[in-house]
A and B are shown apart, each in its own frame.
Chain A
């Protein structure tokens, strides 16, 4: 009976706790629903994702992926592309009171150089010296030309922190940056919180506190927005396209879209029959109906790709691919030959398939090519196993996402076409494509002493890739977010960062 009584007390206690209900947004607090935590942990160079607005970078990539000043106000480069001078912005304060100056930036650059595992873009491996010229000028010397340095300094893991935030191992104890919001705390699996930084050097943040609420299930996220528990859904895959129509009917909710710098590619295995033959790759690629794929399968979450890189990256866009299928006689003959062989294996990585609509895309491709007489077998592997299988060349086709973190196609070439590939795998690239002219062009681009030579080399390289087709673009990512009617100043950049400091309620003035 004691047991019974105890149980009754416990249950009563549990129900008594019901009294507190979820905190609704007040005018001083903004609640944003996200799918998983922004906290990346201190193995990562920046600790918390860029869209928390806690830290800033020396440069920033704008909507066309062109670098523009951020913490660095301006910069010059020598004619050989090896000497860089950066002029820093004045009056920038960090969350712990530190001031932005050339010594602080030097410490940050050396942090990257001394800890290559934190330098995700291997930018500083060729850094020879970083010398503060005066309080706000810094001079960098590299052993080889780095003409795209401003692009690299703006990418989403290149944050600048107070040197007091990282120890001798380069790892951050706390992300002390200079952004409009101060990192406050993360409750595992519940939320990440940031608070306003009053001495921010730009437009003063409006909301005293912003909470990123973690709600894993997409349907529950939508229900929470509809019910008014959260003010906004803004996260990769935040609003699944299936709910767009439903949300658009609501007068109290605004839905908006942003094109993101991510492209999804179809990769051929260039080391195995049938796609070792460029003619097979060409025919397969020409038969693709990107327009239909984007319209029917992605429901607006992707835009059919005309070129390797996102359309906003005007610097590289030359419409190298067609949206509609080109099934003329030679293509049909090639496809018929493809259809005579064994079923083609389309390999999917479980990790990618859970983040992107690859399952639907693969279903569609197999369905579409079956009608053209080519049968495709879809195989889904765990990410590690996928990597092993692609390394071993045990596939015909696979889908692959790639973002454009610096606005320069170097990652694309290195991962998918350069025969020396990624050093860490030391076995070449994912497509197993090997071409001496391409390698030469890539090395030329990497060592170009100026921007025009650099861009020219990349353009010839992309033309060659479009001709040879070791991989072809399928679609570019489009991202949907939704927020409560009445919020203004919301803008998301191609890397999913929102300028949180600019958001306010309509009608309110600073």
Chain B
């Protein structure tokens, strides 16, 4: 485990380097950006003064280390656009993204189980085929297009849900349904296939031999076996989920992290972009790490395998 933590730390350093370097190589004069695009006629001397006051004339390694140091003290920098600490800006937007992402994961797990298990119990039956076809269809279009059509249908035509914003939570329903639903359908397929594989293993047959009915055996023995696989699958899809959120938040006018990064890009708020790359890298790493721990806890065999 210590080994894994060290590797995570090294990864983080690398991620921070990538994000710093990318923004450092950005075209344009950072001092000018700092003053805002509309500040047009400042004397060159005043410009130089600001440049050295901000430490923008220091060599690269010095600036990078300075940046890392301030991050360690919890200072992600200041947004060029609003002049507020980036941490404050993130804190305002994170809850919405976290709610949608979490809601989508929960919904996906539920849909996965609710649809996946009947597929196994009635292999080749109606539910099995229906799930297979729906999953293929919904997987063939990017989620944001599904979201857009859902918005048009449910919010505009049927006037059931709000068109924009959070609106006390109801604005999150469609995004969660879109992302979670699509993910749930594919989870159902993975679950089905994994369960079918388990069903033919010896210990499962032994369970049947002990007198359990087929559904009982699937629920008690099969599920336990595939749980760790599910966790890994969801963790694997998590990064993609965050990516999908950028477009979904934009479509649904939600002020989350995803729409924020687009805003930052369009206003060339470079420190925000920098902090965002580092932040997302950290979140994904943390997610993978916790998934890893969860898998070990669920399935001690994995831990042993890896030690060996």
> Is there a contact between chains A and B in the complex with CB atoms less than 8 Å apart?
yes
Q: Which residues does chain A contribute within 8 Å of B159, judged by CB atoms?
A: 227
21 contacts between A and B (CB under 8 A): A3-B109, A7-B110, A11-B103, A14-B103, A14-B176, A18-B168, A18-B169, A22-B163, A39-B82, A41-B81, A43-B83, A44-B36, A188-B260, A189-B259, A189-B263, A190-B166, A354-B266, A383-B268, A387-B27, A422-B41, A424-B44
Judging by beta carbons under 8 Å apart, are A20 and B167 in contact? yes
Shortest beta-carbon distance, B246 to chain A, in Å? 12
> Once the chains bind, are B38 and A188 in contact (CB under 8 Å)?
no
User: Scoring B residues 214 to 225 as 1 if CB is less than 8 Å from chain A, else 0, what string do you get?
Assistant: 000000000000
Closest to A388 in B: B27
Contact B39–A42 (Cβ < 8 Å)? no
Contact B268 A17 (CB under 8 A): no
Instruction: Decide if B27 touches A22 in the complex (CB within 8 Å).
Output: no
> Does residue B186 face the partner (Cβ distance < 8 Å to A)?
no
Asked if B77 CB lies within 8 Å of chain A CBs, one says no
Q: Is B35 an interface residue (CB 8 A)?
A: yes
Neighbouring A residues of B164 by C-beta, 8 Å:
213, 215, 220, 224, 229
B106 and A190: CB pair below 8 A? no
**B92 within 8 Å of A by Cβ?**
yes
A41 CB contacts on chain B under 8 angstroms: 79, 81-84
Task: Say yes or no for A152: interface residue by CB 8 A criterion.
Answer: no
Which of B7-15, B126-134, B198-206, B248-256 touches A? B248-256
Scoring B residues 13 to 57 as 1 if CB is less than 8 Å from chain A, else 0, what string do you get?
Answer: 000000000000011100011011111111110110010000000
Cβ of A2 under 8 Å from chain B: no
Q: A7-B110, A223-B163, A351-B266 in contact; A424/B155 too (CB < 8 A)?
A: no
Q: Please state if B268 and A223 are interface contacts (CB–CB under 8 Å).
A: no
Residues of A within 8 A of B256 (CB): 189
Count CB-based A-B contacts (< 8 Å).
160
What is the interface of chain A, defined by CB distance below 8 A to chain B?
3-4, 7-8, 10-11, 14-22, 36, 39-44, 116-117, 120-122, 157, 171, 187-190, 213-217, 220, 223-224, 226-227, 229, 351, 354, 382-385, 387-388, 411, 414-415, 422-424, 426
Residue B63 interfacial (CB < 8 Å):
no
With A and B bound together, what is the CA distance between A44 and B39 in angstroms? 9
Nearest CB in chain B to that of A15: its residue? B173
Name the residue on A nearest B270 (C-beta): A384
Hey, which chain B residues are within 8 Å of A10, CB to CB? Answer: 102-103, 106
Contact of A117 among B35, B109, B155, B254 (CB under 8 A): B35
Q: Within the complex, what minimum Cβ distance (angstroms) separates B171 from chain A?
A: 8
Q: Which residue of A is nearest B79, CB measured? A: A41
Q: Assess the A116–B38 pair: CB atoms within 8 A.
A: no
**Number of B residues with CB within 8 Å of any CB on chain A:** 63
B39 in contact with A120 (CB, 8 Å)? yes
Task: Among B83, B102, B172, find the residue whose CB has the most chain A CB atoms closer than 10 A.
Answer: B83
Measured CB to CB, the closest approach of chain B to A174, in angstroms, equals 13
Instruction: Verify if B125 is at the interface (C-beta below 8 Å from A).
Output: no
Known contacts A21-B170, A189-B254; A216/B155 CB under 8 A: no
Question: Which residues from chain B contact A227 at a C-beta distance below 8 Å?
Answer: 155-156, 159, 163
Query: Given A171-B83, A224-B163, are A424 and B260 also a contact pair (CB < 8 Å)?
Result: no
In the complex formed, the residue of A with least CB distance to B227 is: A3
Interface set of B (CB-CB < 8 Å, partner A): 26-28, 32-33, 35-44, 46-47, 50, 79-84, 89, 92-93, 102-103, 106-107, 109-110, 113, 151-152, 155-156, 159, 161-170, 172-173, 176, 250-251, 253-256, 259-260, 263, 266, 268
Q: Which residues of A contact B82 (CB under 8 A)?
A: 39, 41-43
B165 and A190 within 8 A (CB): yes
Q: A214 to chain B: which residues have CB within 8 Å?
A: 253, 255
Shortest distance between the CB of B95 and any CB in chain A (Å): 11
Query: From residue A42, how far is it (CB to closest CB) to chain B in Å?
Result: 5
Interfacial chain B residues near A189, Cβ < 8 Å: 93, 253-256, 259-260, 263
List A contacts of B156 (CB < 8 A).
223, 226-227
- Whether A188 pairs with B168 at a CB distance below 8 angstroms is no
Known: A22-B165, A42-B83, A190-B255; 8 extra A-B contacts, CB below 8 A, are A14-B169, A19-B168, A189-B256, A220-B253, A388-B28, A411-B40, A424-B39, A424-B44
Partner of B27, one of A120, A229, A385: A385
Would you call B41 and A424 a contact (CB within 8 A)? yes
Pick the contact of B165 from A17, A36, A213 — CB < 8 Å?
A213
Smallest CB gap from A216: residue in B? B253
Interface residue from A11, A14, A117, A157 paired with B42 (Cβ < 8 Å): A117
* Distance to closest chain B CB from A401 (angstroms): 12
CB pair A21 B167 closer than 8 Å: yes
A354 closest partner in B (C-beta)? B266
Say how far A283's CB is from chain B's closest CB, in angstroms. Answer: 32
Given the known interface contacts A189-B255, A216-B250, A388-B27, the answer about A18 and B173 at a Cβ–Cβ threshold of 8 Å is: yes
Give Cα distance in the complex from A151 to B162, angstroms.
44
Q: How far is the CA of A116 from the CA of B263 in the complex (A)?
A: 27
Contacts of A116 in B (CB 8 A): 42-43, 46
A117-B35, A424-B32 known; A217-B253 Cβ under 8 A: yes
Residues on B with beta carbons closer than 8 Å to the beta carbon of A7: 106, 109-110
The interface residues of chain B lying within 8 Å CB-to-CB of A187 are: 255
Distance in angstroms between the alpha carbons of A418 and B123 in the assembled complex: 78
Please, which residues of chain B bring their CB within 8 A of the CB of A213?
164-165
Give the docked Cα–Cα distance between A415 and B28 (Å).
Answer: 17
Q: Are B163 and A220 in contact (CB under 8 A)?
A: yes
Report A-chain residues with C-beta under 8 Å of the C-beta of B44. 423-424, 426
Contact of A188 among B32, B251, B255 (CB under 8 A): B255
A253 to B35, CA, bound (A): 41
Q: Say yes or no: B259 contacts A423, CB within 8 Å.
A: no
Pairwise interchain contact B38-A157, C-beta atoms closer than 8 A: yes
Bound state CA distance, A122 and B40, in angstroms?
A: 9
A17 to B170, CA, bound (A): 6
Specify which of A157, A223, A414 is in contact with B155 (CB 8 Å cutoff): A223
Q: Which chain B residue has the least Cβ–Cβ distance from A36?
A: B263
Q: B124 to chain A: closest CB distance in Å?
A: 27
A217 touches B93 (CB 8 A): no
The answer to whether A384 and B255 touch (CB under 8 A), given A18-B173, A188-B93, is: no
Docked Cα-Cα span, A343 to B212, in Å, equals: 78
Q: How far is A435 from B211 in the complex, measured between Cα atoms in Å?
A: 99
Contact B40 A424 (CB under 8 A): yes
CA distance A22 to B171 in the complex (A): 9
Chain B residues, Cβ within 8 Å of A11: 103, 106-107, 110
User: Could you say which residues of chain B place their CB within 8 Å of the CB of A351?
Assistant: 266, 268
Contact call A4/B79, Cβ cutoff below 8 A: no
Give the residue name and chain of the A residue nearest to B31 (CB).
Answer: A424
Contacts of B89 in A (CB 8 A): 188
Contact across chains for B168 and A17 when beta carbons are under 8 A apart: yes
Give the distance in Å from the alpha carbon of A187 to the alpha carbon of B266 in the complex.
Answer: 19
B107 touches A383 (CB 8 A): no
B155 closest partner in A (C-beta) = A223
Report Cα–Cα, A19/B79, bound state, in Å: 36
- The 7 closest A-B CB pairs, nearest first, are A189-B255, A17-B169, A384-B28, A41-B82, A20-B168, A384-B27, A18-B170
Q: Which residues of B contact A188 (CB under 8 A)?
A: 89, 92-93, 255, 260
Please report the C-alpha to C-alpha distance between residue A388 and residue B27 in the assembled complex, in whole angstroms: 7
Name the residue among B84, B161, B169, B256 with the largest chain A CB count within 10 angstroms.
B169
In the assembled complex, the Cα of A461 lies from the Cα of B165 at a distance in Å of 50
